[in-house]
Amino acid sequence: MKTLLVSSALLLSALSMAQVPNVTKFRLTAGYGWSGNFDDKNGNSVTVQGPVLSLEYPLVSAFRFDSALGVSWFGGGRLRSGGDADADVWRFTALARTEIPGTGFFAKGGLGYSVLKGRGNVGDDKGAILQLGVEIPIAKGYAQRVVPQIDVYYVAGKSGLSGFVIGLTGSF
């Protein structure tokens, strides 16, 4: 009986994935991010800026809606020296996204937890985050296996954990 239930659930999941294009796929994003301003150990107002890499693992899909677990790394201070702070920011999120009717765009939101690991004059921080954004397909119908999109989102949380990200996303 257990095998039948598990098999049925897997079959229903596969059918829902097959019927909904560009949904419930692994998603890899490479982009650039900016954090909110915060004070370093010397009391100076700084911001973290640098490359962002993220991966989303698909969970459930139904009726133009899908959910995923995401992890991202934000490497502040990696691309330039100077005014930006040196820190790594890790974000772990539970995400949901849906197509905005009539636009071809996707709205995305999520809740999660973020950890900032500072280097030099930047201290460590951690806390809850809220992520809100939009995904814009670059070429609709282009390569059914890899769907390129522009991903723009805002992360709300403590100042060093908050910020904006813009990236190029591929769905696999």
Q: DSSP of 7-55, one letter per residue?
A: HHHHHHHHHHHHHSTT-SS-EEEEEEEEEPPEE-TTS-EEEEEEEEEEE
**Average pLDDT value for the chain:** 82
Give the mean pLDDT of 124-153: 84
Class of the domain covering 2-171: mainly beta
Higher pLDDT, 172 or 36: 36
**Domain boundaries of the chain, sorted by first residue:** 2-171
pLDDT tens for 15-67 read 444 444 444 578 999 999 999 888 888 888 888 899 999 999 999 888 778 89
The answer to whether 121 touches 131, Cβ cutoff 8 Å, is no
What is the band of 7 on the pLDDT scale with cuts at 50, 70, 90?
Answer: very low
Q: Distance of alpha carbon 142 from its chain centroid, rounded?
A: 22
- At residue 9, the pLDDT reads 47
Which tokens sit at 124? 């460590």
pTM of the model as a whole: 0.78
DSSP letter assigned to residue 105: -
